Amino acid sequence: MSYLTLFGYVLYQSIRHARRLRGNHRADLLLGLAATLLTAAIVHPFDNYFSESTEVRSLFWFLMGLTTSVLVTVVKEAHQS
């Protein structure tokens, strides 16, 4: 299974659960995190152009990983409720 498949699945699930939670504050959080993940996927091919140093690149991908883990947690929590 590729990262692209996993990315598509997480994005699909987050949008699906955000629709189900419409009007709830968690729906806004879920859509915001999904948008962050989508932005990271779009910006990824251009990584060499906007982050020159290894430290900045490492920090960027750490934040994207953190965002992804929070997104997965919120989706799981929304799925259980």
Domain ranges of the chain: 3-80
21: phi then psi, degrees, rounded to nearest 5? -95, 20
70 exposure class (CB count in 10 Å sphere: 0-12, 13-18, 19+) = middle
pLDDT band at residue 52 using 50, 70 and 90 as cut-offs: low
Tell me the average pLDDT across 49-64: 66
Q: Which pLDDT score is estimated for 47?
A: 64
Q: Which pLDDT score is estimated for 21?
A: 77
pLDDT in tens, 25-40: 777 777 777 777 777 7
Mean pLDDT of the chain: 73
Q: Which pLDDT score is estimated for 30?
A: 75
Q: Which two tokens stand for residue 42?
A: 């779009």
